[in-house]
Amino acid sequence: MPSTSQARWSAQGISEFTQDTLRALLDSQIPAIRFRGFATQAECEALVTAIDEDAFAYSPQQSPPIGRIGITQYGHRTAPEAYFAGVPDAHHAVQQLFSRAFDPVARVIAALRDVWPAAVEVADSERGRYHAGLIRLIHDYAGLHFDFVPIEGRGWSIDDITAQISWNLHLSAPGSGGACVVYDRRCEVEHEAVKADPDALLADPELVSDRPFVTLDSIVGDIVLFNTRSYHEILPCRGGRRITVSSFIGRKPDGSLVLWS
């Protein structure tokens, strides 16, 4: 299977956010982008204060549990009706929090529109609009996985995207640990079975054992972007809480970008 084992990154290291690096990231040519100081410390603290007055939900499927405010397409892979029915409440919940600090989703869309030559919108479909903007609390770690809707979400309106990346804004960082490690190995269609079995959400570490990787530290106020079709994991957090806001960004066949969580 040469397509899975070949290195794809033509550059090492972490890039700045520009049109060229965004395109290279979508094409899996670079490991990651870091947008330093995307939000101020004061903005992040204000949002964390608002979040602390709310409650995180926990999915019984995830181990260790990850707290979340918002809704995920991935968590509703086989239940699109429930996803779209839940979008208005999810949108309301996060907008309520953003209104007390700042709106990271609107700011990300504006930053993308500044550099990208085609349309940038929250994903929409005949079934309804998607939710974009997931707030996540990671107490411990998140195991090795990939995220790529054309492989794991067929039948959804976004299953024709040609690339999938994510942005994660770090609102609170753990005392140590909590880095996101991204490996130069993409999931190809033949790995599909890994996620077809709901009890096997995580990938076999063997898949990435000899691969180049990049380590993305959790730094408050920074946004980190990487191609989520590449296998990635979050290392154990020690002391303090790792709180992020994120969404996926997909590139449609016409070159436009769509956001969803």
Residue nearest to Fe ion (CB): 147
Residue 88 three-state SS: helix
User: Applying CB under 6 A, what is the total number of residues that bind ligand AKG?
Assistant: 10
Q: 125 burial class (0-12, 13-18, 19+ CB within 10 angstroms)? A: middle
Nearer to ligand AKG, 85 or 122 (CB): 122
Q: Which stretch binds Fe ion (CB under 5 A): 60-68, 144-152, 174-182, 186-194?
A: 144-152
| H helical segments located in the chain | 2-5, 19-26, 41-52, 80-98, 104-115, 149-152, 193-196
Residue 86: CB minimum distance to ligand AKG, A: 20
| Options 168, 172, 227, 261; binder of ligand AKG; rule CB under 6 A | 168
Helix, strand, or coil here: 12?
A: coil
Assess 244 for contact with ligand AKG (CB under 6 A): yes
Burial of 60 (0-12, 13-18, 19+ CB in 10 A): exposed
- Give whichever of 147 and 184 is closer to Fe ion, judged by the CB atom: 147
Q: Where are the alpha helices (DSSP H) in 70-226?
A: 80-98, 104-115, 149-152, 193-196
Task: Confirm or reject binding of residue 180 to ligand AKG (CB under 6 A).
Answer: yes
CB of 2 to ligand AKG, least distance (A): 26
- Our CB check for ligand AKG shows the closer of 15 and 168 to be 168
**Which residue carries 């996060």 as its tokens?**
94
228 touching ligand AKG, by CB under 6 A: yes
Q: Which residues contact 85 (CB under 8 A, 6 or more apart)?
A: none
Q: Does 222 bind Fe ion (CB under 5 A)?
A: no
- Specify the 3-state DSSP secondary structure of 89: helix
Residue 147 as a binder of Fe ion (CB under 5 A): the answer is yes
Q: Give residues in contact with Fe ion (CB under 5 A).
A: 147
Q: Give residues in contact with ligand AKG (CB under 6 A).
A: 142, 147, 166, 168, 180, 228, 232, 234, 244, 246
